[in-house]
Amino acid sequence: MIFSPHPDDDTLGCGGTTRLLFELGCNILAIYMTDGRFGCPSMTPDETASIRRLESVNSATVLGIANLQFMNRPERGLRCDRSTIKEAREAVQQYNPRLVFVTDPDAGHPDHRTAYDIVLAATAGEVVDVLRYGVYNVVRPDVVVDTSKTMAYKEKAIREHRTQQDREDYVSKIKGLNAYLSLGRGPEVQFCEAFSRQ
């Protein structure tokens, strides 16, 4: 189960690992917590939210995510309140995941921190491993995954978020980050993703 504060965070932070899990036969659920409505200044927030939802569906298909859930909270309006925790907890209890991914709280974006707080509350008392992934930051790695074989899928999935490509060259920057994380792991390892255990 992957909690993504915005429509592209899961792709950027753990897309390579997601594809690997899919290829291993895992059934994956991605929960998109906000609508990403402020992610494209050239369009209205409602237009942006609609397009970004479709982008997340297309990206998830590339990565092998069969199940998607949309919490539809407004971007920058994600709150760690009873309603949101209840919705997240119900999803966790219904899906009964062995592994949950969520954004690292130190990413510098309030929605990322709030997503982390919600997941902590939603998984309290559950027997599940929670791994934090970085998007705008590098987590202190407890788990490092070789994603060399799935980088092409991750790149294609990132490109599905077309509204975001004009803002920043996410493909080059994320590939650079994932290449950096492969340092010291041998010449056959070209890309890695890192996670911190909760």
For residues 34 and 5, the answer to whether their CB atoms sit within 8 Å is yes
pLDDT of residue 88: 98
Domains in the chain, ordered, with CATH? 2-197 (3.40.50.10320)
pLDDT of residue 82: 97
Give residue-wise pLDDT tens across range 164-179. Answer: 988 889 999 999 999 9
Nearest one of 48, 49, 105, 38 to 76, comparing CA atoms:
38
Inter-helix orientation angle 45-63/151-159, to 10° = 160
Spatial CB neighbours of 80, under 8 Å, sequence gap ≥ 6:
114, 117, 118, 121
pLDDT of residue 167: 80
Stretches where the chain sits below pLDDT 50 are none
- Match 């992610």 to its residue by tokens: 39
pLDDT of residue 198: 83
pLDDT of residue 107: 79
pLDDT of residue 14: 98
- pTM: predicted TM-score of the whole model, two decimal places: 0.96
For residues 40 and 142, the answer to whether their CB atoms sit within 8 Å is no
pLDDT of residue 15: 98
pLDDT of residue 37: 96
